[in-house]
Structures are given as structure tokens and as C-alpha cells.
Chain A
Amino acid sequence: MRLTVHLDSNANTEVKVLGENDTLMIIGKDVISDSEMTNIEWFFKALNYSTIIKSELELQRGSVYEKVKLVNLNEDEDNLEIPTVKIYPDCIFSSHIRRFVQHMDDETLQNKKHPIKLISLNKWVSDSLTYDKVATMLFKNYEKFAKKYPIYTLIEDNQESIMWDDGFSIRPRWMNKFEYYQFKMFNNLNIKCYEI
């Protein structure tokens, strides 16, 4: 049994049964008003709200969803196929992956040789437990902890350019606030990112 969650500030909240094995949940503007809210705030609040509906659905069914897909339709389109293979806890998959390396310009400062991978939070799939871990990341902690993390530099993005114009030169960009918060929380929650 699979659940697809769409976050869409242009739509209204609803749950649709699409077939024997598929359910679609839309979290929309009627439950998370987008007035006086940044895109990031809306995203975390809508994502967080989805855990209420999802947990109630799972309680009614008496069974958790085997696979849960999240797409933030405000930022991306739903072209991600849910894998047919088993998805294990603490693993999260996406077709959009970024790789960051520590101290790219000075290897003598590196603590870690291999880059770390981060999936795009706008489009991913996981098991139900991992979905709950990710969806419980709170906007209040984003406000409290998120910061630029220049220790890590983006060395690969399989869908977007890694280059950044900082006003003086065009160079690979640093890990931004949103990615740093994701990185920090995924470390706390023991979540591993994989490309599909």
C-alpha cells in the first residue's frame, strides 16, 4: 500500500483513494493559510500537518503504508516513480540528489574524504517510519538552527547548476540554510539519502 502526499498551496486539502494500492493526500491552503508566511514556513507547516492525517489513516486501516512519497508541488512536479522494491526504515530516496564535500579548497582541513549526499526535500520517497521522522522537522527549529555552512561546498547536483554568482566571482555554492537544517536533522534522526 502506497501513499502519495502533495503539498500544494493552490489546492484544498483532501484524501483520494486512487486504486486498490494507492492513496493521494493533498495538503492545501485551507488548512495551512499562506498569508504572511514564507515558502519555507508554509512547506514545514504543511509537511508537519500531513502527519496528523497520515497517522489517522494508518490507525483506521490498522496498517502503516509501505511506501510514502512526498512532492512539494509549489517547487517541483510529481514525476517520481515509487520504487517497486522494498524500502527499509531510515532510508530516503529521490531522483534529485546533491553532493557536498568538506573544505573543497583545502584538503588539509578535511575531516572526511567522501562527500555527503542530500536528497531534495521537495521530492522523495521513504517508508512510513522515515516519513514521520522527516515530516516532524519543525519550522521553529529551522528558525532556531538553520545557517549557512561554508564548510561544505556543493560539488554535484544532478538536476541544477552547482555554480553560484556571489557578486565577485562565479563559483560552486556553499551549503545553504535549508540544506544545513536538513543535514543536521538527518544526522539526529539517522536518515540515509539515496539516489533513484
Chain B
Amino acid sequence: MKYNIAVQIFGQLRMWENSEQYRDFFEFLNTHVDSVDVFGSFWDDEYSRENQKAGKFNFFTDLELVPIPEVIYKGLWRWGYCLMKSRNLRKEYQNKTNKTYDLVIMMRPDLRIDIGFEEDERERCREVLTGFLNTLKNKKMIYRTWLQKEISNSSIKPFDVDDKVIYATEEAADLFCLGFNHLHNNPDSPFHSAYHTDPISYIKMFNLLVSPFNIIAPFAFFDLVRHHYLKDIDLTTEPQYDEELKKVKTLEEVKNIVKKHL
């Protein structure tokens, strides 16, 4: 079967010395599908521009460095803003090329992606991906999103969820990415906004169907590069100085902060 996948990588560019993992992930996807188009929308800051100059986005289909707004709110405000810009970048490309997608993957740029490092593990990953893609086509799904973890109702917030990677059918992605305007730029919006809740508000306002990943494979469990490093050295994934770690751009800077606190 013929599959086209679009990947939107968006938000604050960090840990982009890790870009090879993304390239490997897309090559892995490409072995099963007809095309993988990659769209990047990152804040127009020094780190993004340095990486652009160094040719670190040369495997992208299209790239946009987004001017940083004058007023910025907390939580996932910036995440949603950039997500919407990345949607429009993809849609402009689709309009020019007349291309449609079977799956849209929306992901952050600071992830550690494991596509199976051993050959037998890699083989199993291939089988799992093929099974997932076949389900998508056979069941003719529309308006469906897949989240890495289930929606949690146990916190003090009405709900929360993981924001690292979201898979969606094309029409679901088109709507989901517009959620920012209806959550943050609508004075009548009844939806809650807080760290890790915005994606669920986007899903609820458009009546999108949602499933947790039922994919048991390494590539379906994305971790942040900084969290992976902390686990690797046997530290908790959310130390008290996590806010400090969030502000830095490279793994080297993360290591220096951890060293300072140890």
C-alpha cells in the first residue's frame, strides 16, 4: 500500500546536536512508506540560526524560523503557537504540491528516539510499524489522534497528558494544530490551559477521537534527551533544578548544570 507521512518538528530548538537520531528515524519510516516529508518550525533565535547555517536542517522538506512574539504566556503557550505555524507551513506545501498524507507526526526537536539498536529489535520495530500503518488504512480512520500516554485525570488539573509526540490522521492534525487560537485567542473559550493540558483541550474542542499508542516498540516511547541523560546517570527525571535544565539548549550545558548540583 502507498503511504505518505508528514512530520512536523516544532517549538524551541534544543539538543540539535542530536539531529542524527531524527534523520535515522525518518530513514526508518522511509523504508516502509512512499514518502516522509519533514517540516520544521522553530523560534528565530541564535541557536536555530546557527544550526541553519551549519546545514543541520538539510533533510527537511521546508523550514521556517518563527519570530518570537513580544508577549509570551506560561505553560504550553509557545508549544501551541509554534504547532500552528508548523501546520500552516505543511498546508502551504500541500497546496503547492497537491499532496495528501495518511499520517501526520507532530514532535518536539529535543527527543531521544530509539528505533531499535539491535538487528532483531529493528526487525520487530519494522513489523510493528507496518501493522500500525495497515490498521490506519484498513479501518479508514478519520479525526483520530494517538498520544504516547493515556489522558490522566488524577492530577489537580482537569486532565493532563504527555506533549512529546502526537500522531494523527491528516484531518485530525489539521484541526488539532488550530487549537491554539481557540484556546488562547478566544475570550469565550471554556477550555483549561496549563502545562501538559493544552493538547487535551485541542482534542476536546474538535471532538477528535483519541487513543494511547498501542504500539509496543521502542520508537513509540519517546523520551527527552535531557531526561534520558539523567536516567542514564541514575538521577530522577525531574530533579528540583529541572526548570534550570529546561532553559538550556545543548546537552553539554545540561551536563554542566547537573555537575554543579551533584
Contact = CB atoms under 8 A, between A and B. Distances in A.
Interface of A: 31-32, 45, 48-49, 51-52, 55-56, 58-59, 61-64, 89, 128-129, 132-133, 136-138, 140-141, 144-145, 188-190
B207 A188 contact: yes
A51 B179 CA distance: 12
A51 B88 CA distance: 9
A188 B208 CA distance: 9
B182 A59 contact: no
Contacts of B81: 59
Nearest to A137: B171
Interface in B68-127: 81, 84, 87-88, 91-92, 95, 100
13 contacts: A31-B95, A49-B91, A52-B88, A52-B91, A55-B84, A59-B81, A63-B187, A129-B205, A132-B182, A136-B178, A138-B171, A138-B174, A188-B207
* Interface SS majority for chain A: helix
A58 B181 contact: yes
Given A32-B95, A51-B91, A63 B186 contact: yes
Contacts of A49: 91, 95
Contacts of B187: 63
B186 A128 contact: yes
Nearest to B182: A129
Contacts of B206: 129, 132-133, 189
Contacts of B186: 63-64, 128-129
Contacts of B161: none
A87 B175 CA distance: 20
B142 interface: yes
B185 interface: yes
A128 B171 contact: no
8 residue pairs, one from A and one from B, having the closest CB atoms: A140-B100, A136-B174, A64-B186, A58-B181, A52-B88, A129-B182, A190-B207, A132-B178
A128 B178 CA distance: 11
B57 to A, nearest CB: 22
A62 B187 CA distance: 10
Given A63-B187, A138-B170, A55 B143 contact: no
Given A31-B95, A136-B171, A59 B100 contact: no
Contacts of B142: 141, 188
B89 to A, nearest CB: 9
A181 B253 CA distance: 53
A56 B88 contact: yes
A189 B206 CA distance: 7
B215 to A, nearest CB: 24
Contacts of A190: 207
Nearest to A56: B88
B73 to A, nearest CB: 11
B171 to A, nearest CB: 5
Given A138-B170, A141-B142, A128 B88 contact: no
Contacts of B205: 89, 129
A1 to B, nearest CB: 11
Given A32-B95, A49-B91, A55-B84, A189 B181 contact: no
Interface string B151-192: 000000000000000000011001100101110011100000
Given A55-B88, A137-B171, A188-B142, A64 B95 contact: no
B140 interface: yes
